């Protein structure tokens, strides 16, 4: 029988969050504070009512319905100060649950309503993330998103920003937004520009549309990772291609249930993906709108599918392997995390059964998990 792990135990594990939208991960109190300072009219200033408007929960009918909440969050993210603050707070929140490497994604074009230039938007977000790194030691990368429903010219503009900010914090390019009626192949020129400049790319695919969306992302656009990939299970040949080529899946279970990409948590294909051997990473998508953390998502999978600690360790390692980091930096971080993971075993009588790690922990100390974090017994390729 799999020992039951608490959320608090999982919070202490080192982890990644590779699929996290800045504009979906604000603190609720920050939205209220920014709205008052900027004189932005919200639907309500009652904290509870505002949360109910933003939280997808069970009332969400589709991905398109889920995306409506962003109208509220984006309304207070149109100044440099707001962008810097929200980026810092996101990294701080991630650090508090021992996320060691965070990839923050957003579309600069959605933050230009009040006259900000796209490059200014990128700089403001970078300042917030750099401040968080200085204060907490959290590592980060930025992924700039094109929007499926916008023109190919707009996606090319985002690709140009990726090229300009390469080696300055931007690590990847993405295409996001409603899939139905907005094929990724429309944005091929933008993908080609980032690939020509040796920049990594991912794509939201297989969330609200079938496996063909994933096929396009991989074979028409050259994506190195797939965001969500919930409907990959519907095409066995493509699934095996993804597995054979070790293409990481950025799985966001609770979000997928809320957008109806999966009918329930228990029937989410992530359990099959893990069992079959795909490279699965567990992520938040939108911390506020889905009301989640990486720790919570991992814990819910543990509860729903009975994943033992050894499986959680494999998924944690897969996250670090899949990050858009330079190889040598990634190798150093993997060695550090693997040493930490080797220092703890499954709880016994409510306490962690610790043993001495074979390798000492190197690098900056983490907030909570240097003393307590589980070990990778098997390292997926």
Which residues are known catalytic residues? 207
Q: How far is CA 43 from CA 36, 38, 50, 115, in A?
A: 13, 15, 7, 23
Q: Tell the residue number behind the tokens 């971080």, with chain if given.
A: 333
User: Is residue 255 classed exposed, middle or buried when 0-12, 13-18 and 19+ CB atoms within 10 A define those classes?
Assistant: buried
Strand-pairing partners, residue 175, are 146
Phi, psi at 35, each rounded to 5°: -65, -40
Q: Tell the residue number behind the tokens 């079938």, with chain if given.
A: 210
Tokens of 177: 């937004």
Task: Choose among 119, 94, 117: nearest CA to 104.
Answer: 94
Cα gap 146→174, rounded to integer Å:
6
Neighbouring CB atoms inside 10 A of 369's CB total 23
| CA end-to-end span of the chain | 27
Eight-state DSSP code of residue 275:
H
CB contact at 8 A, 155 and 128: no
Cα gap 358→343, rounded to integer Å:
8
Phi, psi at 255, each rounded to 5°: -60, -40
């Amino acid at each position: 029988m799999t020992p039951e792990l608490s959320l608090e135990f999982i919070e202490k594990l080192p982890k990644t969050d590779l699929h996290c939208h800045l504009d979906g991960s604000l603190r609720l109190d920050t939205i209220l504070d920014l709205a008052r300072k900027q004189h932005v009219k919200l639907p309500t200033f009652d904290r509870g009512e505002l949360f109910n408007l933003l939280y997808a929960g069970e009332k969400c009918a589709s991905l398109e319905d889920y995306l409506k909440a962003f109208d509220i969050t984006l309304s207070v993210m149109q100044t440099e100060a707001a962008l810097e603050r929200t980026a810092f707070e996101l990294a701080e929140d991630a650090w508090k649950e021992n996320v060691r490497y965070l990839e923050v994604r957003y579309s600069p074009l959605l933050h230009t309503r009040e006259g900000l230039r796209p490059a200014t938007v990128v700089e403001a977000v970078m300042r917030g993330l750099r401040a968080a790194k200085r204060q907490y030691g959290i590592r980060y990368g930025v992924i700039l998103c094109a929007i499926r429903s916008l023109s190919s010219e707009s996606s090319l503009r985002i690709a140009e920003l990726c090229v300009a900010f390469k080696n300055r914090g931007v690590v990847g390019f993405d295409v996001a937004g409603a899939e139905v009626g907005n094929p990724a192949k429309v944005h091929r020129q933008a993908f080609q520009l980032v690939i020509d400049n040796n920049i990594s790319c991912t794509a939201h695919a297989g969330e609200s549309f079938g496996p063909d969306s994933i096929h396009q992302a991989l074979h028409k656009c050259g994506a190195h990772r797939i965001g969500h990939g919930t409907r990959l299970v519907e095409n066995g040949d493509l699934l095996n291609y993804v597995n054979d080529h070790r293409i990481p899946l950025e799985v966001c279970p609770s979000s997928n249930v809320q957008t109806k990409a999966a009918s329930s948590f228990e029937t989410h294909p992530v359990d099959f993906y893990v069992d079959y051997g795909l490279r699965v990473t567990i992520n938040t998508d939108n911390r506020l709108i889905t009301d989640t953390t990486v720790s919570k998502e991992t814990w819910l999978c543990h509860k729903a599918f009975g994943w033992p600690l050894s499986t959680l360790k494999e998924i944690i390692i897969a996250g670090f392997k899949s990050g858009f980091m330079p190889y040598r930096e990634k190798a150093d971080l993997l060695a550090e995390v693997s040493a930490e993971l080797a220092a703890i075993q499954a709880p016994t009588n409510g306490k962690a059964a610790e043993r001495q790690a074979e390798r000492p922990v190197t690098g900056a100390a983490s907030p909570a998990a240097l003393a307590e974090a589980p070990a990778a017994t098997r390292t997926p390729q």
